[in-house]
Amino acid sequence: MGSSSKDDSGSDGEASSGDTPPPDSTRFTEGERVLAYHGPRIYEAKVQKAEQRKKDWKYFVHYLHIANSWDEWVGADRLLKHTEENVSKQQALHKKQNLDKNSKLGRSQTKPKNSADTKTDKEDTKGNATKGKKRKADSNAEKDNISMEKQVKVQIPSTLKKQLVDDWEFVTQQDKLVKLPRSPTVDDILSKYLEYRSKKDGVMTDSIGEVLKGIRCYFDKALPVMLLYKRERQQYQDVIKEDVSPSTIYGAEHLLRLFVKLPELLAYVNIEVETLTRLQQKLLDFLKFLQKNQSTFFLSAYDGSKVSESKSKGKDE
């Protein structure tokens, strides 16, 4: 989460497309109770801080009834006013997610209902609502919060959270893209980490290798589904051809976005508590490795020419 952190590694899976700055009427204030998108669900939250960064507002939110470790900075597009209509929207979405709970891992996220659907749901809710139904809805929301607590918690270091914010601003606000192919690639970074751990531990452990294989697999599958901003999709189609793995083309910028989405991707995987604890420690160690090599692995500036080329190509077609 995070940011990815990081977007927010955002996304139809893209919670933070950032294409249109929010109008003044949708701004939120410190201390305001709101509803916030986190992955495919909507949770009750409270705005702790509000900051204007360039043309856009960012909000530091705390999810109610959830541990503080989930607190994060989000854009206005992740937030909803706490109104009767939006609460109905939240309840309808929770209900649908519960029905889809056993869906196959890796499917793209369920999109929020459009305004017309929400209006219909609102009218139905008003006509049929009873105290019993309200209690049931509250109970479902409570269960969702509990399942969120059981998710893999990925603690992203503060400097990498800042990297995620810069990444979001480069792509969505400045019309710039990461120049591809990257060097080092995701595969290169994973190999460097394996080498680093082998030297540090004096032995190459199977468990580290398995975790790295898992990261690579999740990255290759998740990238086109939920790790790209809308403005990056044309570039993806241009560079990823048949039998080419994204992990051999993309680099640290997109890899970091995966760690924002990992709690969501692993939510329905049956993991024992002891295994979960070890996995979280290994993921944190890998993130610290990224942080230690941040100046080497991450770009300090993105390329502005490719977005313009993609826009022109779209017009010609």
CATH assignment of the domain containing 50: 2.30.30.140
Residue 215 lies in a domain: yes
Q: Residue 124: its pLDDT value, please? A: 52
Question: In total, how many domains does the chain have?
Answer: 2
- Cα–Cα distance for residue pair 187/219, rounded to 1 Å: 10
pLDDT per residue as tens digits for the range 45-74: 999 999 888 788 899 989 888 877 788 888
Pairing relationship of beta strands 72-75 and 33-38 according to DSSP bridges: unpaired
- The reported pTM is 0.53
Q: 101 and 172 share a domain?
A: no
Question: 28 is written with which tokens?
Answer: 């939120």
- What pLDDT score was predicted for residue 203? 66
Per-residue H/E/C for 231-264: HHHHHHHHHCCCCCCHHHCCCHHHHHHHHHHHHH
Quote the domain boundaries for residue 54.
24-149
Which residues, given as ranges, of the chain have pLDDT below 70?
A: 1-26, 97-151, 203-205, 305-317
How far apart are the C-alpha atoms of 91 and 134, rounded to whole Å? 10
> Are 48 and 139 found together in one domain?
yes
Q: What pLDDT does residue 304 have?
A: 79
CATH number, domain with residue 258: 1.10.274.30
Domain boundary, last residue among 149, 184, 200: 149
Considering the domain boundaries, does residue 74 fall inside one?
A: yes
Comparing CA positions, the residue from 33, 255, 287 lying closest to residue 153 is 287
Q: Which of 89, 116, 149 lies at the terminal end of a domain, its last residue?
A: 149
Same domain as 308, residue 212: yes
**Sign (positive or negative) of CA dihedral 283, 289, 293, 297:** negative
Residues 232 and 143 in one domain: no
Tell me the Ramachandran region of residue 135: left when phi exceeds 0, alpha when psi lies from -120 to 50, beta otherwise: alpha
Would you report the helix, strand and coil content of the chain in percent, each value rounded to 5?
55, 10, 35
Same domain, 63 and 193: no
Q: 299: which residues sit within 8 A by CB, 6+ positions away?
A: 178, 179, 182, 251, 253
Residues 77, 33, single domain; the answer is: yes
